[in-house]
Amino acid sequence: MGGDHGPAIVIPGAALTLERRPDARFVIFGDEGQVVPLIDQHPKLKAVTTFHHTEVSVKMDDKPSQALRYGRYKSSMWRAIDATKTGEADVTVSAGNTGALMAMSKFCLKSMPEVDRPAIACLWPTVRGESVVLDVGATIGADARHLVDLAVMGAAMARVVFDLDRPTVGLLNVGVEEIKGVEAVKEAGRILRELNLPQMNYHGFVEGDDLGKGTVDVVVTEGFTGNIALKTAEGTARQISTYLKAAMSRSLMAKIGYLFARGAFAALKDKMDPRKVNGGVFLGLEGIVIKSHGGTDAVGFASATELGYEMARENLMAKVREMVAASARQEASAQEASAQREAAAQAATVQ
């Protein structure tokens, strides 16, 4: 029921996913009157869908606390999340209110024990392929501890998505020199360097322009900056599309050129299509939830659904859980070793 267009894009999006992933099965929650007629238009989808009617839908502009108050246990959003908890579904996908979706996911699924706060990760297109970027808006502000969690969860996702043993991880900062930047970012860099986790290769600081370059497999930042970087990049891409369109229609020669090169332009448009990289992955919860852009269409919603499909198929959550637990153990033993060294040093001083 969520997003700017509700079932009108969700149902055709699901049908599109089914075409590409014929073994997908769907559990759909929403208002019967609005949803069922749309499902009926897609017989193949109908054949593999379990539909549950819900009376309540979370509105796009409600505060998370409001949505929890009236929508807990009974809204389509809550019940879709709960389906992942009960095992009826492997992954939940929603185009609804991000804050409410995160609040309900935390409440219903709970965070992993080692993770203080969940995060939203996205796949960022780069000239080298794609990178995992997180947090793009789950929480605002981050201490060093949380940034380290983000690095571990992001690396786990990169291992799954890019099939890498030791993905490279960078901390987003305002300069690559060690002297610059926020204290929490510097401290997180020190911790990651010292831990030297076997599941990731800590690269150091990266800057905003490293995002598009694909300098590292995983870019870590707190949610405010990450959200603004993501939307700035989307805005810049749209801005350049506008320039390009204007340039290609400014003269007859340009128009003729456009006709010759239209295959190339189509490929470029496809490459820059924001719908193809739609989907924020909630990390750090005991279940997988994917947030689709609220304003997307069926094609974009299908991308988010397919991202969820892949994450479930690759068992992302188990791998994140495993890596988070392993890094927590490693940190604990590093702390113990350092405490022992200190105690030994003190004993030596006393003697």
CA atoms of 306 and 134, how far apart (whole Å) = 19
Residue whose CB is less far from a copy of itself, 31 or 62: 62
User: Quick one: which of 30, 137, 280, 308 contacts a copy of itself (CB under 8 A)?
Assistant: 137
User: Quick one: which of 51, 143, 224, 286 contacts a copy of itself (CB under 8 A)?
Assistant: 224
Chain positions 66 to 85 lying near a copy of itself, rule: CB under 8 A, are: none
Task: Name the β-bridge partners of 30.
Answer: 53
Residues binding a copy of itself: number (CB under 8 A): 64
167 touches 153 (CB < 8 A): no
Residue 184 within binding range of a copy of itself, rule CB under 8 A: no
Residues 152-165 as b/e (b if ≥16 CB within 10 A, e otherwise) read: bbbbbbbbbbeebe
User: Quick one: which of 69, 110, 231, 329 contacts a copy of itself (CB under 8 A)?
Assistant: 231
Chain positions 257 to 276 lying near a copy of itself, rule: CB under 8 A, are: 257-265, 267-268, 271-272
CA atoms of 49 and 27, how far apart (whole Å) = 6
Residue 295 within binding range of a copy of itself, rule CB under 8 A: no
Residue whose CB is less far from a copy of itself, 55 or 61: 61
Residue 254 within binding range of a copy of itself, rule CB under 8 A: yes
User: Quick one: which of 248, 299, 325, 328 contacts a copy of itself (CB under 8 A)?
Assistant: 248
Half-sphere exposure of 325 (CA within 13 A, CB side): 9
Minimum CB distance to a copy of itself, residue 1 (Å): 19
Q: How far apart are the first and last CA of the chain?
A: 71
276 touches 302 (CB < 8 A): no
DSSP string, 15-62: HHHHHH-TT--EEEEE-HHHHHHHHHT-HHHHHTEEEEE-SB---TTS
User: Where does this chain bind a copy of itself (CB under 8 A)?
Assistant: 61, 63, 99, 125-127, 137, 140-141, 172, 174, 177, 179-182, 207-213, 221, 223-225, 227-240, 242-244, 247-248, 250-251, 253-254, 256-265, 267-268, 271-272
